[in-house]
C-alpha cells in the first residue's frame, strides 16, 4: 500500500512513518520542515520503501496514493502562534488539498485533529459529542478554530463527495523526538530539570492534562485508519494529572535540584484535559498501554542524549546510566 504522511518529519509524523515502514508499506513523507526535522527521519531516510518530498501542503500536489495521514500543522502554541495566518492556511488550504487528492485517487484520508477543539471544557471527561468551549478570536484560535474548520471540511467532503475520511482528536502526546524548544510541558520540564534550572509553571499548576506516549498514539491512528468509522474519535490517555504533579514527577525521576517557578497563565489556556476513550476502546479495540512513568523514562533518556549531542559534555547533564529511577517508576 502507498501511504502519504503530511507533516512526516514532525514529532508524531516521524514515528508514524517508521511504524508504517515496519508494516511493509511504501511511505511518502511530505513536509516543509517548519517544525519538523530531517534528523527525525534520519534512521529511515534511505529505506527502499521511503520517499521524502519537501513541500508545503498549502500548495497543491499530485500523487497516487492509497491512504493519507494528514498531520501537517504546527502543534505547540509557540509555533502555531508564530504565524497565525499561516497556521489557519495550513489547516484550511492544506486540508482542502489532501481532500482533493483523496477524492481524485479514492484514497482514505485521516485528519489528526486535536483536543483543542474542546477549548476550555466545562465537562470531564470530554466525549466526542461535546461541542466545546472555544474562543474564536483569542490567540489560540488560529489552531483551535483551524482544526474545527478542518473537521468541517472533512465531514462535508464525506457527505458531498463520498470521500472516505477518518478524524482523530489527539490529546497531549509526548515521547522521543519532541522538539527541544517548542514550549510544551513535557519537553520544557525535562530540559529544565536536566539542567537543574527552575521549572516554569504557568498559573498555579492545578490545571490538568492527560499525556499519551507517542507509540500508543501512533497505534491508535493506524487502528482508526483501518477501521470504517467516519466520525471523530478521541485518541489519548485518560490518566489525568495536574501540571504541578508532572513537574514534581520529572524532578524526582531526574534527581534534579530544580525548584518550581510560577508565572502568569497564558490567555485561553485550558484548565482541564481528560479524554473519554470509550469509542476508541469499542470501535478500534484500542487502549493506551504505556504508563506515564515508563514513557517519561524513555523521553528523559532521549533528551539527555539530545542535549549531550547538541551542547557537548556538560557535567550538569547526566547520561542515562547515571540516573537511577525510583522502583515505582520502573
The set of catalytic residues is 143
Phi-psi region of 255 (alpha: psi -120 to 50; beta: other; left: phi over 0): left
Are 201 and 176 a contacting pair, CB within 8 Å? no
E strand or H helix that includes residue 31 = strand 26-31
Strand partners, 298: none
Query: Mapping DSSP to helix (H, G, I), strand (E, B) and coil, where does residue 28 land?
Result: strand
Going by C-alpha positions, the residue among 222, 281, 291, 231 that lies closest to residue 13 is 222
Contacting residues for 305 by C-beta, under 8 A, at least 6 apart: 319, 320
For 283, counting Cβ atoms within 10 Å of its Cβ (0-12 exposed, 13-18 middle, 19+ buried), the class is middle
Cα–Cα distance between 128 and 112 in angstroms, integer? 14
Are 241 and 303 a contacting pair, CB within 8 Å? no
Going by C-alpha positions, the residue among 68, 17, 25 that lies closest to residue 43 is 17
Query: Mapping DSSP to helix (H, G, I), strand (E, B) and coil, where does residue 272 land?
Result: coil
Are 58 and 51 a contacting pair, CB within 8 Å? no
Return the residue matching grid coordinates 474542546: 118
CA terminus-to-terminus distance, the chain? 38
Amino acid at each position: 500500500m502507498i501511504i502519504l504522511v503530511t507533516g512526516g518529519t514532525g514529532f508524531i509524523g516521524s514515528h508514524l512513518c517508521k511504524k508504517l515502514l515496519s508494516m511493509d508499506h511504501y511511505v511518502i513523507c511530505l513536509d516543509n520542515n517548519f517544525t519538523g526535522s530531517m534528523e527525525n527521519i534520519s534512521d529511515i531516510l534511505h529505506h527502499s520503501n521511503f520517499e521524502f518530498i519537501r513541500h508545503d501542503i498549502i500548495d497543491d500536489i499530485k500523487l497516487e496514493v492509497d491512504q493519507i495521514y494528514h498531520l501537517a500543522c504546527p502543534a505547540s502554541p509557540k509555533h502555531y502562534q508564530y504565524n497565525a495566518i499561516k497556521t489557519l492556511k495550513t489547516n484550511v488550504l492544506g486540508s482542502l488539498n489532501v481532500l482533493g487528492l483523496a477524492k481524485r485517487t479514492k484514497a482514505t484520508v485521516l485528519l489528526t485533529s486535536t483536543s483543542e477543539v474542546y477549548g476550555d471544557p466545562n465537562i470531564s471527561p470530554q466525549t466526542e459529542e461535546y461541542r466545546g468551549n472555544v474562543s474564536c478570536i483569542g490567540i489560540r484560535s488560529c489552531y483551535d478554530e483551524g482544526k474545527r474548520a478542518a473537521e468541517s471540511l472533512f465531514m462535508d467532503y464525506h457527505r458531498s463527495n463520498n470521500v472516505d475520511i477518518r478524524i482523530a482528536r489527539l490529546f497531549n502526546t509526548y515521547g522521543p523526538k519532541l522538539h527541544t524548544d517548542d514550549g510544551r510541558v513535557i519537553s520544557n520540564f525535562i530540559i529544565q530539570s536536566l539542567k537543574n534550572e527552575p521549572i516554569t509553571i504557568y498559573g498555579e499548576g492545578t490545571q490538568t492534562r492527560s499525556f499519551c506516549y507517542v507509540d500508543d498514539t501512533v497505534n491508535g491512528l493506524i487502528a482508526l485508519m483501518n477501521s470504517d468509522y467516519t466520525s471523530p474519535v478521541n485518541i489519548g490517555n485518560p490518566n489525568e494529572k495536574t501540571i504541578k504533579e508532572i513537574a514534581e514527577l520529572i524532578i524526582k525521576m531526574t534527581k534534579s535540584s530544580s525548584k518550581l517557578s510560577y508565572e502568569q497563565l497564558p490567555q485561553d489556556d485550558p484548565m482541564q484535559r481528560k479524554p473519554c476513550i470509550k469509542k476508541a476502546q469499542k470501535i478500534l479495540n484500542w487502549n493506551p498501554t504505556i504508563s506515564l512513568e515508563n514513557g517519561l523514562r524513555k523521553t528523559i533518556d532521549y533528551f539527555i542524549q539530545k542535549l549531550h549531542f547538541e551542547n557537548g559534555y556538560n557535567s550538569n547533564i547526566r547520561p542515562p546510566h547515571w540516573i537511577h529511577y525510583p522502583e515505582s517508576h520502573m
